[in-house]
Amino acid sequence: MQDSESIARREFLKTSVLAGSGIFAGSRLLTDGGHEVQAAAQPAAADTVAIRLRVNGTNYGLRVDPRTSLLDLLREKLDLPGTKKGCNHGQCGACTILVDGRRINSCLGPFAYTRAASQQAAIQAVAQDNTKFLAGGTNLIDLMKENVEQPSRLVDINRLELTRIVEREGGLRLGALAKNSDTANHRLVRERYPLVSQAILAGASPQLRNAATNGGNLMQRTRCYYFYDVTMPCNKRQPGSGCGALEGFSRIHAIFGASRQCIATHPSDMCVALAALEAVVNVEGPQGARTIPFADFHRLPDDTPQIDTNLKRDELITGIDLPAASSVFSSHSYYLKVRDRASYAFALVSVAAALDIRNGVIHQARLAMGGVAHKPWRATAAEQILNRQRAEESVFRRAAEAAMQGAEGTEHNRFKIELGKRALVRALTIAANGRSA
């Protein structure tokens, strides 16, 4: 693959349907069944676009929804069932066809692919409309397969020099492209910030952690069922369409900070630990570098649930700083995750508890919760109760009560309020006892 823009698979539909530029006109497409196609694009209409095709010497003119995959077009519009529909996720190979002699999976939606050779090039490239960075791809590619996200262009940033984990000003800088598994197992992370290591290892599966990056972990999107079901209304996926979860099944949804527009939760475990440790996100954009305190990185839904973070569209996350001051919690921190199955699931409730205990007294406490809000939820009222108190269960219970004040559940997720209290007490107890990664 070249470092400059390259033609991605399913380029056929991108060029003939989406772009409407006709730049692919005249290219030939051969299915395994020997179908030969030539295509030319017409100017786009509101919801469908007109295309002309030449398949096995036969010309076709038709209008299609731009989201139509090449596979569906061949099978359903042109009645060419020789190309099979298998997993419909670009994995099984049943939909393989040949375009100008190249094998492609025809079931996926069209997009262009660019590999960035420098941070500057990446920032420039992502400024184009409907363009996304591609790092580990463990969430984005799923979203594309489900038609939840349909970027016209992916900017692959995997070759950028952002993979290192280095000491900086007494703390650690986690490279944005360091893999989650490398971060969790890094000696200095485990020694100084075991909470981060524990949280990462509580998330996903080993395979996913090996692929997922730190920056991508911050950018992952909610796992709300209705967000992934494109037949359902969802203000996050399609602003103004409504919220399927409000009247639907809301077991995994928010009990803090929700709005009438969206009650989704943030799915990350790592981010809960980063919130408790008051990490700082380093970003780079056209105007240069800036930092974002972790508490300000993710947003509550309010009236714009489609916007998850305060990262600008043309900014690149370059690293995450763990402050030196937060290493005081290394001996007394614990990440507790409560989920429906132990092997692989998102948190119903999670707690990142970090205590600085001196002579049995809590000098400073940090608490953050996951699975309860649209962003990692810092329990500052509970922290105030813990500070300067003895590290004992009665204090933990009072803190837990304070932490859950203001929680509002639905009929399906009200259980999270009591679960949250119990999880807080348990996490604080384990942290106080000095358990670490």
Residue 235 sits in the site that holds ligand SF4 (CB under 6 A): yes
Q: Given the complex with ligand SF4, which of 31 and 235 has the nearer CB atom?
A: 235
Indicate which single residue of 144, 243, 270, 428 sits in contact with ligand SF4 (rule: CB under 6 A): 243
The residues that bridge with 41 in the sheet, in sequence order, are: 51
Q: Decide the pairing of beta strands 112-115 and 153-156.
A: parallel
Residue 222 sits in the site that holds ligand SF4 (CB under 6 A): yes
Question: What number of residues does the chain have?
Answer: 437
Which residues have a Cβ under 8 Å from the Cβ of 150 and sit 6 or more positions away?
67, 109, 111, 130, 144
Q: According to CB under 6 A, which residues from 258 to 277 bind ligand SF4?
A: 262-264
How far apart (Å, rounded) are the C-alpha atoms in residues 171 and 320?
Answer: 11
Residue 413 sits in the site that holds ligand SF4 (CB under 6 A): no
Dihedral of CA atoms 15, 19, 20, 26 in degrees, nearest 10, equals: -20
Residue 224 sits in the site that holds ligand SF4 (CB under 6 A): yes
Residue 399 sits in the site that holds ligand SF4 (CB under 6 A): no
Residue 244 sits in the site that holds ligand SF4 (CB under 6 A): yes
75 CB neighbour count, 10 Å cutoff: 18
With contacts defined by CB under 6 A, name the span among 102-110, 167-175, 257-265, 270-278 that binds ligand SF4. 257-265
CB of 138 to ligand SF4, least distance (A): 19
With contacts defined by CB under 6 A, name the span among 233-241, 288-296, 336-344, 394-402 that binds ligand SF4. 233-241
CB of 63 to ligand SF4, least distance (A): 30
How far apart (Å, rounded) are the C-alpha atoms in residues 221 and 38?
Answer: 38
Q: How far apart are the first and last CA of the chain?
A: 40
Q: Given the complex with ligand SF4, which of 24 and 227 has the nearer CB atom?
A: 227
**C-beta separation of 318 from 282 below 8 A:** yes
With contacts defined by CB under 6 A, name the span among 103-111, 168-176, 229-237, 361-369 that binds ligand SF4. 229-237
Q: Given the complex with ligand SF4, which of 398 and 412 has the nearer CB atom?
A: 412
CB of 415 to ligand SF4, least distance (A): 18
Residue 333 sits in the site that holds ligand SF4 (CB under 6 A): no
Backbone angles phi, psi at 391, to 5 degrees: -80, 85
How far apart (Å, rounded) are the C-alpha atoms in residues 13 and 83?
Answer: 16
How far apart (Å, rounded) are the C-alpha atoms in residues 413 and 16?
Answer: 46
Residue 193 sits in the site that holds ligand SF4 (CB under 6 A): no
Residue 305 sits in the site that holds ligand SF4 (CB under 6 A): yes
- Side-chain-side CA neighbours of 15 within 13 Å: the count stands at 21
Residue 226 sits in the site that holds ligand SF4 (CB under 6 A): yes
Q: Rounded to whole angstroms, what are the CA distances from 122 to 19, 63, 180?
A: 22, 35, 22
Indicate which single residue of 245, 352, 386, 428 sits in contact with ligand SF4 (rule: CB under 6 A): 245
Backbone angles phi, psi at 253, to 5 degrees: -95, 180
Q: How many residues bind ligand SF4 (CB under 6 A)?
A: 14
Residue 346 sits in the site that holds ligand SF4 (CB under 6 A): no
How far apart (Å, rounded) are the C-alpha atoms in residues 154 and 128?
Answer: 10
With contacts defined by CB under 6 A, name the span among 26-34, 129-137, 179-187, 237-245 that binds ligand SF4. 237-245
Residues that bind ligand SF4 (CB under 6 A): 222, 224, 226-227, 234-236, 243-245, 262-264, 305
